A and B are shown apart, each in its own frame.
Chain A
Amino acid sequence: GAGVSQSPRYKVAKRGQDVALRCDPISGHVSLFWYQQALGQGPEFLTYFQNEAQLDKSGLPSDRFFAERPEGSVSTLKIQRTQQEDSAVYLCASSLLLGAIYNEQFFGPGTRLTVL
């Protein structure tokens, strides 16, 4: 596709349910990032993949959050036993890998998660 796509766009979960959020990056993009954006705030980094390797997961708020990218393309962010504080927009971004040069990150439209 032409850009980063995410699904679902909206997800409502009851507290305690597990959810899975999907990201399809731009074809050929090596790097993939997940961010969490609370209402009225800037996105906050969650985790980063280079191909299938998860190189940084320092931003994941708890062990209820898990991300994978098994074949180095599509990624899934899973949240177990959702809590109300997990309500946010989850953004995925991808970029080419060009060594030490900053790479523009292309963002998807996000998944808005609401936990009741």
Chain B
Amino acid sequence: GQNIDQPTEMTATEGAIVQINCTYQTSGFNGLFWYQQHAGEAPTFLSYNVLDGLEEKGRFSSFLSRSKGYSYLLLKELQMKDSASYLCGSPQGPGGGNKLTFGTGTQLKVEL
């Protein structure tokens, strides 16, 4: 099975940097992804990590440590539009059809 944990909510200031952590325990690891979901909207893909290390995409970066079962999403130069839920999760492998198991999501509120 899979167990994914992330904080329920976080608050940060516009222009700042925020790090959203995610820990996981999976019976078979197939990588870790992050999705962003604005209220009432579809989740949108942010990143997917399968190897250890940091991957940067503009203002967003994602980090993975497989030995520690740990990932984080780093958001720089926060903007008000970054207020959303950030979902951490893992796909089950080919036998599972790549179905996704999500954490509860971290609700990020960006304030002035």
Q: A: which residues have CB within 8 A of B?
A: 3-4, 31, 33, 35, 40-45, 48, 50, 55-56, 59, 91, 93, 95, 99-100, 102-110, 112
For the complex, is B102 an interface residue (Cβ under 8 Å from A)? yes
When chains A and B are docked, how far (Å) is the Cα of A4 from the Cα of B44? 12
When chains A and B are docked, how far (Å) is the Cα of A106 from the Cα of B43? 8
Could you tell me if A99 and B100 are in contact, using CB atoms closer than 8 angstroms? no
What's the minimum C-beta distance from A99 to chain B, rounded to whole angstroms? 7
Could you tell me if A42 and B103 are in contact, using CB atoms closer than 8 angstroms? yes
Q: Interface residues of B toward A: which range?
A: 20 to 34
For the complex, is B97 an interface residue (Cβ under 8 Å from A)? yes
Known: A4-B42, A40-B104, A42-B105. Is A33-B99 also a contact (CB below 8 A)?
yes
When chains A and B are docked, how far (Å) is the Cα of A107 from the Cα of B8? 22
| Cβ contacts under 8 Å, A105 to chain B | 45, 98, 100
Per-residue contact bits, chain B 79-112, to A (CB 8 Å; 1 contact, 0 not):
0000000010101011011111111110100000
